[in-house]
Structure 1
Amino acid sequence: MAKISIIIPAYNAAQDIGNALDSVLKNKSDMDIVVIDDASSDDTCSVVEQYMSRHSNIRLLRNEANTGPGVARNRALMSIDSEYCMFHDADDTLVNGAVDILTSLMDRADVDFAFFNYFILRNRGAVLEEGGIGAEGTWQDALGGQELAIVELDKAPNLLLMVNYPWNKIFRTSFIRRVNLRFSTARINEDILPHWVAFMHAGRFLAVNRKLTIHSLIAGSDQHTNVYDERRLAIFEAIRETESIFERNKVFRDKYYHLFLYFKAGLLGWALSRVRPDLRRIFDEHVTHSYRGFTDEDFKRIYQHSPDLALTILKLKYSPAGLATAA
């Protein structure tokens, strides 16, 4: 059994997958590196196969049809047998030794997962930016100025509002199996579901305020951040799958649903800026439908935390006109 599995979904990533693999391979840990190709039409598989000829710990899975990154990751998850699991993107790179650092920290911590800070790369060859813009206060509140801390969610619930990336976390595989952690089948925002599942089920986790990965957000690329067409509407499927957790679990609903409503309003406001004008009417209809389940009890609970947001969401239940304000 490998110490850790690194799952890398790839789609038309021939230009970047080599750099991603190089950064993963710069670790001494016993790694099972799983690249799952999502029916690429370029030379992604050929590049990976060249690496496989030199590194026996790299595996390649192939999807016959393009499924999206969530479904691809879920398939790869079914194939692993390791102590730990990390997700990595095909166009990202790890800081040298990141895997070794994280597995060592997890070995010493009695937690089911850890999350860590990151850099942002907006243009190839550009200077790295600080990751988690706007989250500095949340990091400080959770860690009390320390670089490492085991944090209890109920003492730092605003961590739920941090961006729901999958590639800045490391999990015990046994935890993934126990809580049935998976990604949404939605093609965009598929990572909302595992973010909320992981935090709420774990309850306590290791926070590592060290930048251990470099996430690419290249303007003009085909990354999901830059999608403005019909694919953006998949956000509502991702939200619906996540909200179903609160419908099934009263404890989670009572303790955290008001935070999810806050998160949801901000997320939809962000998505609104990434919808083509000709899709706005359809997007608005989805917004109204998405808030139909907002109850009087939900209103009272969120009103205690943020009266303005409670009133905005109540308006959104009947009209999406206030969405920009909610963001």
Structure 2
Amino acid sequence: MPALSIVIPVFEAEEYLAGCLDTIIDGDVDGGGDRLEIVVVDDCSPDGSRAVAERYAARDGRIKVITTPANAGSGPARNFGLAQAKGDYVWFVDADDELKPGAVERVLAAVTGPRRPDVVLVQHEKMRDTGAIETGELPELAEHCPADPSGFTLTEWPRIVDYTHTPWTKVSRREFLNGIDLGFPTGWYTDIPWTYALLRRAERIAVVVECCYQWRQRAGSSITRTRDDRHFDVFTQWQRTWDDFEGVDDPGVRVALFNHMVWHLLLVIGNTERVEPKKRREFFRRTSELYRRYHPGPDAWQPADGVTGLKQRLLAARAYLGYEALRQVYRLAKRVNRTDPQEVPAPEVTASEVEASSAINGAVVSGSAVQSAPDDASGLPAQAKLPAPRVSRP
């Protein structure tokens, strides 16, 4: 039985699959046939992805190529691959991403020992299509872990929900995964209910803070940069998460999860590459509904400082016009700050921005002035015992 099964869902990845497989094969420095299994799941890809996988499988017995009955998306493809996997542990890897050198060794070291973890969280980095590298936040989070980072539960460290809710940063014990009967749902943002259900049930979680995974964000290939009504699936997935946590009474866990959900939903609506402008009001309304439904109470959670706190208060007040006004004023302030008034004429202010400036003065908010608020688009500013989460992927 292999120690580790790497499951790769594949759809229209012909251009990238070879690079992904190379980093996995080269990363298994021992090369032993009993350590590693690679399950390539062809999700009925219409391009030459399967041919690439079969070419690799023909010369490497550790690679197995299977095909889903019908194209159903990455979540169901992962479920299909898991059913075929034989390893002690399972790692879901995306076909257009790559493993970092030493990743396989680090993961195998983390799962070896008398007290084996149910889940291992691994550090990642994001490479943008510009070539810029952004480092994941796991080491920073681990510095403040109140428990043993080599073995803890969600209750012992609720703040771990702030780590990216992507399946490729989690290596799970296969027997544990099958025992809790946890699969990926259909739709977009399926990582959300899967990740938090996994962490809720794990009796022992460990972290690997050395970088193991490179998410390669490619133009046109990521849902984070795609305008589509399927972004509304995020509400279904967060509702599934809260339904699963209905019996969890631990206040620390519920506060951390709520804090993370609010950050994530504000991130999605604030991304102009995701939600169509004409759909923003409806997206805000549904965000406000979840905010009000699962707010843990004013004694447990308070809005943040700065611009994010203003947005959170507007969610509580269901004040969409105030939210849009805030966005317009904040964007105007950033435009002004990017110019040198001594050398460049001030930008012309549009009528909508003038209206926004007036409207924000009447919004039901409190907090710092917009002009002096920090640029917190990347995450929530720190709150008492609950610093800012950062997520690399939806």
So what's the TM-score if we normalise by structure 2? 0.71
Residues 98-145 of structure 1 deviation map (CA, whole Å, 9 limit, x = unaligned): 123211221124321111111221137x3543223xx6542211289x
Q: How many Å separate the matches in 2 of 1:315 and 1:58? A: 52
Residue 159, structure 1, aligned to residue 165, structure 2: no
Q: Compute the displacement of 1:18 (Å).
A: 0.4
Structure with the higher fraction of residues in strand conformation: 1
Change (3 A) 1:39 1:319: farther
Matches within 5 A, 1:25-174: 25-26=25-26, 27=28, 28=31, 30-108=35-113, 109-123=115-129, 126=131, 128-132=133-137, 137-142=140-145, 149-174=150-175
Amino acid at match of 1:306: W
Gaps of 5+ in 1: none
Which residue does the alignment assign to 1:13?
13
2:266 aligned to which of 265, 269, 275: 269
Matches within 5 A, 1:171-210: 171-187=172-188, 189-210=189-210
Amino acid at match of 2:284: D
Which residue does the alignment assign to 1:316?
315
Change (3 A) 1:314 1:74: farther
Deviates further, 276-285 or 93-102: 276-285
Q: Compute the displacement of 1:211 (Å).
A: 0.3
Greater C-alpha Rg? 2
Which residue does the alignment assign to 2:299?
304
Q: How many Å separate the matches in 2 of 1:164 and 1:96? A: 23
Q: Compute the displacement of 1:163 (Å).
A: 1.3
Confirm or deny: 8 A CA contact 1:98 1:212 kept in the other structure: yes
- Specify the SS of the correspondent of 1:149: coil
Q: Compute the displacement of 1:288 (Å).
A: 4.3
Change (3 A) 1:74 1:48: same
Amino acid at match of 1:116: V
Residues 48-85 of structure 1 deviation map (CA, whole Å, 9 limit, x = unaligned): 11111111221222234331211111121122222111
Q: How many Å separate the matches in 1 of 2:13 and 2:180? A: 31
Residue 258, structure 1, aligned to residue 293, structure 2: no
Using the aligned pairs only, state the percent identity. 24
Gaps of 5+ in 2: 328-375, 381-394
- Specify the SS of the correspondent of 2:160: helix
Confirm or deny: 8 A CA contact 1:4 1:86 kept in the other structure: yes
- Specify the SS of the correspondent of 1:305: coil
Amino acid at match of 2:157: A
Which residue does the alignment assign to 2:22?
22
Change (3 A) 1:251 1:77: farther
Amino acid at match of 1:305: A
Q: How many Å separate the matches in 2 of 1:143 and 1:91? A: 35
Structure with the higher fraction of residues in helix conformation: 1
- Specify the SS of the correspondent of 1:154: coil
Which residue does the alignment assign to 2:360?
none
Residues 187-208 of structure 1 deviation map (CA, whole Å, 9 limit, x = unaligned): 2x21112221222211431111
Q: Compute the displacement of 1:172 (Å).
A: 0.9
Confirm or deny: 8 A CA contact 1:38 1:63 kept in the other structure: yes
Change (3 A) 1:246 1:315: farther
So what's the TM-score if we normalise by structure 1? 0.85
- Specify the SS of the correspondent of 1:278: helix
Q: Compute the displacement of 1:97 (Å).
A: 3.2
Which residue does the alignment assign to 2:227?
228
